[in-house]
Amino acid sequence: MDIKDLKTIMAAGESAHVEFKESFGDAVIESLVAMANAGGGKVIVGVRDNGTVCGVGPNRLNTASWVNDIKMKTSPSLFPDIEIAVIQRASVAVFLRKDVPVKPVATRGKCFIRRGSSNHLMSI
């Protein structure tokens, strides 16, 4: 992803297709699931909710482990594209998830959908 495009996305803030997370964890996976169920989107790790860059520490940058974690915790398994970018001398990870043809996608036995800039638990 082009740095200029990434900065433009970050300046626009969170939306139905963009989520910021300070670090990788189950909340990132939940957002990827919600976006997969609602047309796709980007989760940018290393960015605070207000759009400021906090970065992902170099010892925490482990994209192979992240992909495996996402694959193991989603059903059907998601395989997002991950791009690493350097902004303001800090690394950020951009998880790109397109809409999926087989829905719903679940994590930890729950299905989520993206509405506005938040994830919502789907009902039966």
Give pLDDT tens digits for 24-68.
999 999 999 999 999 999 999 999 999 999 999 766 668 889 999
pLDDT at 14: 96
- % the chain with pLDDT above 90: 82
Structural domain range at position 18: 3-102
pLDDT at 21: 97
Please state, in angstroms and rounded to a whole number, the distance separating the CA atoms of residues 102 and 37.
Answer: 9
Structure tokens at 3: 């740095």
In a domain, 124, yes or no: no
* Amino acid identity, position 63: T
Q: What is the mean pLDDT of residues 109-115?
A: 96
- The 8-class DSSP code of residue 76 comes to S
In a domain, 114, yes or no: no
Q: What angle do helix axes 63-72 and 26-36 make, rounded to 10 degrees?
A: 60
Domain count, the chain: 1
What band does 1 get if pLDDT is binned at 50, 70 and 90? Answer: confident
In a domain, 22, yes or no: yes
Q: 43: domain CATH number? A: 3.30.950.30
In a domain, 37, yes or no: yes
Q: Where are the beta strands (DSSP E) in the chain?
A: 18-21, 40-45, 74-75, 81-87, 90-98, 106-107, 110-115, 118-121
What band does 2 get if pLDDT is binned at 50, 70 and 90? Answer: confident
